[in-house]
Amino acid sequence: MANKAELNRRVERVGIGVSPGVVTGPVFLLTTDGDRYVERSISEAEVPREVARFEDALIATRRQLHEVQRQVGEAIGRENASIFDAHLLVVDDRSLVDEVVRGLSSYKKNVETVLHIVSERYVQALLRVEDDYLRERAADIRDVTRRIMRNLSGVSSSALATLSQPCVLVAKDLPPSEAATIDKTKVLAFATDVGSPTSHTAIMARALNIPAIVGLHDISVRVSRGDPVLIDGGKGVLIVHPSEDDLESYGKVEASRRSLQSSLDELRDEPAETLDGYHVHLSSNIELPTDVDQVVASGASGIGLYRTEYLFLSRKELPSEDEQAAVYEQVARRMAPAHVIIRTLDLGGDKFLSLVKMPQEMNPFMGWRAIRFCLAQPEIFKTQLRAVLRASHLGNLKLMYPMISSLDEVLKANLLLDECKDELRAQNIPFDEEMDVGIMIEIPSAALTAHLLAPHVDFFSLGTNDLVQYTLAVDRVNERIAYLYQPTHPAIVRLIKNAIDVGHQHGIWTGACGEMAGNPLMVPLLIGLGVDEISVSASVVPLVKRVIRRLRYSEAEQLADTVLALESAHEITEKCRELVQRLTPELLELLA
């Protein structure tokens, strides 16, 4: 039998911090009772009764989700409540519902068993997809299924309703519909075995401002109810039975975080300008129109990347030209006079199977996608181009083609764009005749032939994620070779430098987006290499602005000159770190 010392042994685990903050409290273990059911056989005569039970449970689930959505909308805004649209789509998905009903007769099992079989089939199919957005929809299906199961069993509420004292919630998984109804006076923070920074649960944690860690693997079976734990939601650290030194150390971290956050908030209306007067256009990336509010609140001066493919996902039909034009115009009006760069569809492979018959590919990310797909499907592409042109009459839209690998692709895309302009002119539909058109430099061939591409476009945008991935032949989600994913590899630095220099020689500007642009350590290097615009997620804008405003452009230029003479990614990273350490050591400490 374990002695008291063993039971109180300090244990530290590191997961993925998805919502910052340091808190301590006793563990409350949340079990997923909705996953438990008794399998039993039924006769054909019992099928109608099981169908009726299923329909009643669907009605109850739909009613509950609408109520959750209403409560969330009132508490933290409609944009956060909109994530439950995906849950309601699952409840109303006729293909899933009909498959369960048919399964009752074919399996001759009770509805709980059939629902589990059918929903897991959907879940596993989504989990095999390489796209993060679609993989996260698997969690939505499981969340809705768990709620339907609970309604089938007659259980109307979760264990969270019984909380009486403040605690740290620990669970294998925390469905977003559970996270959305958390009482912040009772739940100080939460930690889960599974999850990712892009999950709806993570989004809810940030919206509620509750410290949270996901991806802790087996924490739910490593702690007991009542265990004292410390959570650092920024660094992703969870400590069971923290020591006095832990409490003191992390207490200082939290005080520093709050002080830094307060100072960052004060930068909202300040320009992204270096100490010696060099202005950097600091923009933000968005996926949905509802993201614009966060962009405005962050202090960004525009939208440098609008990923339009998310308008096409989770739909049964393609969005019409009118619908697209209305959405693009909505974003443009909200951001005016700041510019909005609309990236044309980066769809294909595993992102488009439900709408268009796509070939099975061994490596869809190097396959029939993005500009390749669009040029092969001109009607889909032209519908989007016309929609963008129609919205461009406001004067602040720019257009950008993704995944360009050759001049031929640029010429073909521009030809289709010219056709769309002629069609709109013939219909007397106004648009911006001078709308800028750019390309993403994310394939090495584009970076190396930038001099051929520049005369035919108005700007470049460095897609650093794919540029690193394709240049170094590294799948960045493959854990075995993740160490080879090096944004500061000398080859990457030289490709970036070449693209920027060529752009400037041809009188066009170059922006940068992706993880490299959003890493405060890399910002001085990008500026020193000559980047004109940096576009990052809204949450990172204040951090990047802090670095820019502490920096001298002359220091950035000197860093770039030094880095171009170095031979390894490690040396380059350390030079970047040394500069940021000197500029803003408190920021570097929190990023550690």
Residues labelled as active-site residues: 200, 513
Report the first-to-last Cα separation within the chain, whole angstroms: 39
Burial class (CB in 10 A: 0-12, 13-18, 19+), 45: exposed
| Cβ partners under 8 Å of residue 222, min gap 6 | 11, 13, 240
d(CA 196, CA 73): 23
| Cβ partners under 8 Å of residue 553, min gap 6 | 274, 276, 277, 278, 527, 528
DSSP string, 280-294: -EEEEEESSGGGHHH
CB 50 within 8 Å of CB 282:
no
CB 584 within 8 Å of CB 260:
no
User: Which residues, in sequence order, are bridge partners of residue 17?
Assistant: 213
Burial 524-558 (b: 16+ CB within 10 A, else e): bbbbbbbbbbbbbbbebbbbbbbbbbbbebebbbe
d(CA 227, CA 468): 43
Sign of CA dihedral 341, 342, 348, 350: positive
Can you tell me which residue has the tokens 């993880």? 515
| Cβ partners under 8 Å of residue 451, min gap 6 | 502, 505, 506
| Cβ partners under 8 Å of residue 69, min gap 6 | 81, 84, 85, 88
**Identity at 213, one-letter amino acid code:** I
d(CA 388, CA 326): 9
Q: What is the 3-state secondary structure (H, E, C) of 99-160?
A: HHHHHHHHHCECHHHHHHHHHHHHHHHHHCCCCHHHHHHHHHHHHHHHHHHHHHHCCCCCHH
| Cβ partners under 8 Å of residue 585, min gap 6 | none
In this structure, the number of other CB atoms found within 10 A of the CB of residue 30 comes to 23
CB 163 within 8 Å of CB 143:
no
- Respond yes or no on whether the N-terminal peptide bond of residue 197 is cis (omega within 30° of 0): no
